[in-house]
């Protein structure tokens, strides 16, 4: 792992969970959905299929996280790509990383509230 990648990883993993860091897909999805990601670190190379809500824009691995799920969930072939796009749209940064201890992690600009999408 390059030095810069290692520093970013240590910075994120050194944060108390639930504060200004998210590790793993569910936590990162929640952070992306709230526009809270300052930097997304992506280590996973394969596509992860998921859903995007056609109403609120929430990204999820299952179509069960939105009140409109039965009518508005659209399948997406690559959830990570959507997360990267969303992060960049929110003026965040995306770093691809190899040999990480996580599939995806994020440095947050604010804690995730759990209140869902702000869109
Ligand atoms: Zn929705």
Q: 69 vs 107, which has greater pLDDT?
A: 107
Question: What angle is formed at CA 54 by the lines to CA 110 and CA 117, rounded to 5 degrees?
Answer: 15
Give me ligand 1 centre to Cα 111, in Å: 21
42-51, 52-61, 76-85: which is most confident: 76-85
Q: Is the pLDDT of residue 113 over 90?
A: no
Give me ligand 1 centre to Cα 9, in Å: 31
CA distance 87 to 80: 10
Residue matched to tokens 């995806």: 104
User: What are 15-45's pLDDT values in tens digits?
Assistant: 766 679 999 999 999 999 999 999 999 998 8
Q: Name the pairing type of β-strands 93-96 and 37-42.
A: parallel
Task: Give the pLDDT confidence score for residue 69 in this predicted structure.
Answer: 61
Band of the pLDDT at 63, cuts 50, 70, 90? low
CA distance 64 to 10: 33
Neighbours of ion ligand 1 (CB under 5 A): 53, 55-56, 58, 66, 68
Give me ligand 1 centre to Cα 101, in Å: 31
Give me ligand 1 centre to Cα 116, in Å: 9
Percent residues over pLDDT 70 in the chain: 87
Nearest CA to 86 out of 65, 63, 59 is that of 59
Tell me the whole-structure pTM to 2 decimals. Answer: 0.86
Mean pLDDT for all residues in the chain:
87
Residues facing 108 on adjacent strands: 37
Task: Give the pLDDT confidence score for residue 16 in this predicted structure.
Answer: 66
In the sheet that holds 73-76, the strands lie side by side as 59-60, 50-53, 73-76
């Amino acid at each position: 792992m390059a030095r810069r990648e290692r520093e970013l990883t240590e910075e994120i993993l050194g944060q108390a969970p639930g504060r200004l860091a998210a590790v793993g897909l569910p936590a990162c999805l929640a952070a992306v959905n709230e526009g809270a990601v300052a930097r997304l670190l992506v280590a996973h190379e394969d596509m992860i299929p998921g859903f995007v809500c056609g109403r609120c824009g929430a990204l999820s691995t299952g179509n069960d996280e939105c009140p409109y799920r039965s009518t508005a969930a659209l399948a997406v072939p690559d959830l990570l790509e959507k997360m990267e796009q969303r992060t960049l749209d929110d003026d965040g940064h995306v770093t691809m990383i190899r040999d990480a201890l996580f599939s995806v992690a994020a440095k947050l600009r604010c804690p995730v509230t759990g209140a869902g999408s702000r869109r």
